A and B are shown apart, each in its own frame.
Chain A
Amino acid sequence: MAAAPPQPRPVRLRPPRAGDLGVARVKVHAVPSTRTAMAAPSWGLAAARAGVRLRLPAVRRCGGAPAAGAPDAGTLPQQTEERPGTGTAATGPRQVPSEKSESFASMLRRSPLIQMGPAKDKIAIGRIFHVVEDDLYIDFGGKFHCVCKRPEADGKKYQRGTRVRLRLLDLELTSRFLGATTDTTLLEADAVLLGLVESKQTKQKE
């Protein structure tokens, strides 16, 4: 997703914790899930309280994939270290962001979606991928697309593949109605169409 040029931020080289990412830990109910790491959070928390940093390479292995543990070992210590999320000083390995070994948490932290922050009133560039008469379906790199009305100015220029500037309002339109147990979602994002992307070529022509 191409946001407006961001301010250069100081780079943090220690491995990210949940607090850094701005990602809230989801409270997991006591669902007996044998596959995934139900054991890992309690091990990690106990270790953090004891002030000891344990390496638990084997905890997250699924029952059905015993041989798959070896290549995942590189990412597992990263996972167990960030699980506690408490204030212990991070003495773990530094994440070098090379193509091969970048962890999911590291990729997520650097992604434009997280760097952008709240979507309200952020400028983004999208691409029209479908047109139905006056409705333009624009994809800006989020989970959903947004639908905008074709503007009167330069209306003919908005075709499939055109890049446009948007002001985002919401990444997903959801609302909890009275008497419902879950939110109802429209499977769409909400944005205001600002206009075409003015590239250098169009500026030079003018």
Chain B
Amino acid sequence: MAVPRLLRAAAPRLYSSVPAPVPAPAAARPRAVDDKLLSEPLSHPDFFNVKELFSLKDLFDARVHLGHKKGCRHRFMEPYIFGCRLDQDIIDLDQTMQHLQLALNFTAHIAYRKGIILFISRKRQFCHLIESTARECGEYAHTRYWQGGLLTNAHIQFGSGVRLPDLLIFLSSLNNVFEPHVAIRDAAKMNIPTVGVVDTNCNPCLITYPIPGNDDSPAAMELYCKLFRMTIIRAKDKRRQNEVFDELRSKAEGN
């Protein structure tokens, strides 16, 4: 099974997530600078400027506004639907822009704070694309059959001291039998925030940052993968840059 290898591969990041004695932190840096490093991005509404990564035209050309037929519509997706044209639902891209900006901003903050991100999708057509996207950003992906207790029973299935993901990104929130993916409910149980692309036949309820949009066309999936990859890489680079600045500053103050 790929998942335990994936989670354990990040050896430097493993630490006890159960209330157990925390190993003595080797923090030579003073607390004030640490706080500034983490609190400075929170003061801006769009610190990582994720808005410039996409435009309405990009979403439109990638066919993000195309939904399923009227008969497949989920009742809770109705606020996000612009209208219905000859029985095909059209998703409102103005709302999608807002939701996508919020979701990308949140993902960037999680990546900045060195959180573990797990990409999930059960669409066989795009599983290779998602796995390579995850590999390129240095994060994780799970595009195979989801065993029942992966999140809720982790300490028994993987042994104690396993760190769970800090964010789940659903590039398609349904499984192979058109039911909501089990991980959405499990993440809500484990207090893990979720970002998810919801099509017109999906249930957006338990997803923290839903992105109403098409999850069936290759063009749309490539766009989402590109946006998430750019956001995560940008946030990680920013973190590295800030840490280097802090080190230089503390050295200068020390001298």
Residues of A within 8 A of B (CB): 18, 21-29, 31, 33, 36, 38, 60, 62, 64-68, 71-72, 75, 79, 99, 102-105, 107-108, 111, 113-114, 117-119, 129, 139, 141-144, 171-172, 174, 176, 182-185, 187
Contact = CB atoms under 8 A, between A and B. Distances in A.
Contacts of B201: 182, 185
Contact of A185 (B45, B72, B85, B102): B72
A62 B79 contact: no
A107 B68 contact: no
B133 interface: no
Contacts of A171: 88
Contact of B82 (A31, A62, A104, A111): A104
A23 B82 contact: yes
Interface string B173-217: 000001000000000000000000000010000000000001011
B69 A183 contact: yes
Contacts of B90: 23, 108
A95 to B, nearest CB: 13
Contact of A104 (B56, B68, B75): B56
Contacts of B72: 174, 182-183, 185
B57 interface: yes
A62 B212 CA distance: 15
Nearest to A79: B94
Interface in B69-101: 69, 71-76, 78-86, 88-90, 92-95, 97-99, 101
A23 B84 contact: yes
22 contacts: A18-B83, A22-B86, A23-B90, A27-B78, A29-B75, A36-B80, A60-B94, A62-B99, A65-B45, A68-B46, A102-B56, A104-B60, A104-B82, A107-B57, A117-B86, A143-B66, A182-B72, A183-B71, A183-B72, A184-B178, A185-B178, A187-B216
Given A18-B83, A26-B83, A33-B79, A65 B101 contact: yes
Given A62-B102, A104-B60, A183-B72, A142 B66 contact: yes
Interface of B: 45-46, 51, 56-57, 60, 63, 65-69, 71-76, 78-86, 88-90, 92-95, 97-99, 101-102, 178, 201, 214, 216-218
Contacts of A105: 82
B82 to A, nearest CB: 7
Contacts of A144: 216-217
B69 A24 contact: no
Contacts of A75: 94
A174 B68 contact: yes
A172 B217 CA distance: 12
B69 to A, nearest CB: 5
Nearest to B97: A72
B27 to A, nearest CB: 32
Contacts of B92: 104
Contacts of A187: 216
Interface SS of chain A: loop
Contacts of B94: 60, 72, 75, 79, 104
Contacts of A118: 86
B65 A26 contact: no
- Interface pairs A-B: 4 shortest CB-CB: A183-B71, A23-B83, A143-B66, A67-B45
Contacts of B80: 36
Contact of A38 (B56, B79, B88): B79
A119 to B, nearest CB: 8
B84 A107 contact: no
Contacts of B51: 68, 71
A108 B65 contact: yes
Nearest to B92: A104
Contact of A67 (B46, B89, B217): B46
Contacts of A66: 45
Contacts of B101: 65, 68
A71 B52 CA distance: 12
Contacts of A184: 178
Nearest to A1: B63
A182 B201 CA distance: 9
Contacts of B66: 113, 142-143
Nearest to A119: B86
